[in-house]
Amino acid sequence: MPFYQTPPALGNQYVEDDVLRRYLRHTLPPDVLRRVEPELLELGELAGGDLFRQSVEQRSDEPKLVPWDAWGNRVDHIELSPLWKRAARLTAEKGIVATAYERKSGALSRVHQFALLYVIDRAWHVYSCPLAMTDGAAKTLLVSKNQALVERAVPRLTSRDPEAAWTSGQWMTERTGGSDVGISETVARADGDAFRLYGTKWFSSATTSQMALTLARPEGNPPGGGGLALFYLEVRNPDGSMNGIQVNRLKEKLGTRMVPTAELTLDGARAFPVLGTKDGVKNITPMLTITRTWNAVCAVGGMRHALALAKDYARKRVAFGAALADKPLHVDTLAALEAEYEGAFLMTFRAVELLGKEEAGELTEQEAALLRLLTPIVKLVTGKQAVAIASEALEAFGGAGYIEDTGLPRLLRDAQVLPIWEGTTNVLSLDLLRAVAKTGSLEPIAREVGGAVSGCEPSLVPVAEQVIRAVDHAQAWLGRTLEAGGPAGVEAGARRLAMTLGRALQAALLVREATRSREENDHAKPAAAARRYARNGIDQIVDDPLDADARILVG
Ligand code: MFK
């Protein structure tokens, strides 16, 4: 007897997204929501329909490097998939980057922009990668106040005209490694009003961009991140030839296989300092803040997409005499995942709100400290949740989840990059410690969490108490460990600290969402998400993360 299964299907990905719609209802003034909603409906239709189908059908159309033309000329051309070419036009026209800079929605422009991204992202094979870097480059140039570069590049990076729009690369990683950027080897030699760069960039994502921001050490500068400078370069000369850059090969990656990630040799690439000739690591951090936020938004978009497919399939797939959606164990499994996703969503968009306020000049000092602390937490917690949810979602399809032409394995492969690029979980945990050192304490997070759960609906009081206990524990552990003067102890516990704070904030924001939905028809779901999330566990702090057992186990 043949083995037939009904594939999962998606409807309009805005209409079907109760979490996004509820959040926007609570966050955007009615007139702004009315203006933004047609854009979301249009992208939601593509994300559940035509573009989604194309992304499954074109799953093998990977980019190809053509180093030489037929006549032996070095061209370094990268042929992109039809879906990526469509995505390039679509994103310019729909303003996926531009929306943040046009500021039509004032301080809520980042919420507007990232809602668009979140709805569309899973349907275009990680075209979010060049867009994240483009957004990050525009922001970094604006922060630098380098007027010549701002005038040259920002209008192109934020253009809605597909013929004029540029994307940007962010070339940081070298053969010496991706985390410890300060040991980069690329050298910058002065050449008139510019510099010439010599070195190798080991991972350069989306190498088809027109420009890049990159780091190099001006000759004579000291070692370390402070001795690097931030440079702007254009990838091709006006005649179309490469600007002293060779594409050595495209990377063979586990996932994000449509993203043309390359190894590059810079052999005299003409480049311009963005902001002086030192402090390159510090000067590129505005870009990191933006790309890390993109990472989180795409992580929650991916979680929702995977769960939408798994939930649809659960209603259709009959096994052992009933639909999976009626099987208690399957329901328990999916409920835990849905709660995780909803918490991740709310935390991510809280960071997005703060970013928008910062750019509109409306951030208080307290909120600025909160944003600095939240950015690494949001990136690292959602990266891990995205992988766990993608893995479980594949499993929810049984063997079909492991078969390429269902389009499902890509969900897991593409999710796996989220905790790696833009700073691994551990590097970001250490960044949280750096942020605590700057902001002075965890108080901004404690206050945010306390505010979110105060006055909560009675059924959620136990969740609120669990959240407050977790934050108190985290604060007490940090204070005690710092006082004991053991930096190794703080470092070893940094991931647990970040996870606990992130999970506490996610649960707290779920409580707030449930409380502010109290008078609404669909209030049952956010409250259920808050309770289920808390049951998944919040506090991960242990007193002595680097105990003797850890040493014995690792050797
Ligand atoms: C789906 C979305 C797609 C996303 C697109 C992805 C495209 C993929 C492209 C890539 O993956 S590019 C590679 C990404 N690479 C990284 O994210 C680097 C990871 N490593 C780190 O983040 C390290 O923590 C870091 C390189 C920053 C450490 O360098 P240092 O030189 O040891 O940093 P140091 O000395 O602690 O800090 C230098 C200054 O920068 C300090 O300022 P001050 O001098 O004023 O004290 C720091 O406070 C500041 N700083 C560092 N990190 C910061 C920061 N400021 C704000 N935010 C931060 N995150």
Spell 201-220 as b/e; 16+ CB within 10 A means b. Answer: bbbbbbbbbbbbbbbbbbee
Residue 251 amino acid letter: K
Q: Looking at the structure, tell me whether residues 274 and 300 fall in a common domain.
A: no
In a domain, 422, yes or no: no
What pTM value is reported for the model? 0.97
Q: Compute the distance from residue 171 Cα to the ligand 1 centre, in Å.
A: 13
Q: Is residue 294 part of a domain?
A: yes
Decide: 517 in ligand 1 pocket, CB within 6 A: no
273 CA to centre of ligand 1 in angstroms: 18
Domain that holds residue 486: 441-554
338 and 411 inside one domain = yes
- What's the mean pLDDT when you consider all of the chain? 95
434 in a structural domain: no
CB 173 less than 6 A from any atom of ligand 1: yes
Atom of ligand 1 nearest to the CA of 282: 40
- Of 212, 247, 281, the last residue of a domain is 281
378 Cβ inside 6 Å of ligand 1: no
Q: Please tell me if the CB atom of residue 170 comes closer than 6 angstroms to any atom of ligand 1.
A: yes
Based on the fold, state whether residues 290 and 402 are members of the same structural domain.
yes
The answer to whether the CB of 128 is under 6 A from ligand 1 is yes
Q: Give residue 3's pLDDT.
A: 58
- CA 141 → CA 214, 218, 485, distances in Å? 12, 20, 39
Regarding whether 201 and 86 lie in a shared domain, the answer is: no
User: Does ligand 1 come within 6 angstroms of the Cβ of 432?
Assistant: no
128 CA distance to ligand 1 centroid (A)? 20
Give the atom of ligand 1 at the shortest distance from the alpha carbon of 418.
1
Residue 229 in domain: yes
Quick one: which atom of ligand 1 is closest to the CA of 431? 24
Mutational pocket test of ligand 1: of 122, 285, 426, the residue with most ligand atoms within 8 Å of the beta carbon: 285
Same domain flag for 90 and 177: no
CA atoms within 13 A on the CB side of 104: 11
Phi, psi of 224 (to 5 degrees): 95, 170
What is the helix (H) or strand (E) element at residue 109, kind and residue range?
helix 109-120
Residues 297 and 406 in one domain: yes
288 C-alpha to ligand 1 centroid (Å)? 6
Q: What is the pLDDT of residue 508?
A: 98
For residues 549 and 33, give the distance between their C-alpha atoms in angstroms, rounded to a whole number: 54
Distance (Å) from CA 427 to ligand 1 centroid: 9
Q: How far apart are CA 211 and CA 204, in angstroms?
A: 12
Among 263, 281, 299, the domain boundary falls at: 281
148 in a domain, yes or no?
Answer: no
Q: Which tokens in the block code for residue 255?
A: 């996932």
Q: Which stretches of the chain drop beneath a pLDDT of 50?
A: 1-2
Helix (H, G, I), strand (E, B) or coil at 77: strand
Decide which of 281, 300, 318 is a domain's last residue. Answer: 281
pLDDT of residue 2: 47
**Residue 206: partners with Cβ closer than 8 Å, 6 or more residues away:** 129, 130, 133, 167, 169, 259, 260, 261
CB distance 293 to ligand 1 below 6 Å: no
Does one domain contain both 292 and 408? yes
Could you tell me the distance, in angstroms and rounded to a whole number, from the CA of residue 359 to the centre of ligand 1?
20
**117 and 184 both lie in a single domain:** no
- The CB-side HSE value for 45 (13 A sphere, CA atoms) comes to 5
CA distance to 251, 415, 516, per residue, from 254 (Å): 10, 10, 42
Give the chain's domain count. 3
CATH of the domain at 394: 1.20.140.10
pLDDT in tens, 147-198: 999 999 999 999 999 999 999 999 999 999 889 999 999 999 999 999 999 9
Torsions phi, psi of 191, nearest 5? Answer: -150, 90
Longest CA–CA span in the chain (Å) reads: 77
* pLDDT of 15: 97
Same domain? For 242 and 296 the reply is no
Distance CA 545, CA 503 (A): 18
Cβ(377) to ligand 1 under 6 A? Answer: no
**Cβ–ligand 1 contact at 134 (below 6 Å):** no
Distance, CA of 519 to chain centre: 33
Kindly state if the Cβ of 394 falls inside 6 Å of ligand 1.
Answer: no
- What separation in Å is there between the alpha carbon of 480 and the centre of ligand 1? 27
Same domain, 409 and 292: yes
Looking at the structure, do residues 404 and 497 belong to the same domain, yes or no? Answer: no
DSSP 81: P
Q: Is residue 427 part of a domain?
A: no
Does 209 sit in the ligand 1 pocket, CB within 6 Å? no
Same domain, yes or no: 460 and 507: yes
Whole-angstrom distance, CA of residue 232 vs CA of residue 215: 9
Instruction: Output the 3-class SS for 317-373.
Output: CEECCEEHHHCHHHHHHHHHHHHHHHHHHHHHHHHHHHHHHHHCCCCCHHHHHHHHH
Q: Residue 495 is part of a domain; what is its CATH number?
A: 1.20.140
Query: What CATH number should be reported for the domain holding residue 176?
Result: 2.40.110.20
Asked whether 439 lines ligand 1 (CB < 6 A), one says no
Look at residues 305, 296, 315, 400 and name the one whose alpha carbon lies nearest to residue 353.
296
Rounded to whole angstroms, the Cα distance separating 521 from 26 reads 14
Inside any domain, residue 149: no
Beta bridge partners of 250: 262
**Residue 136 within a domain:** no
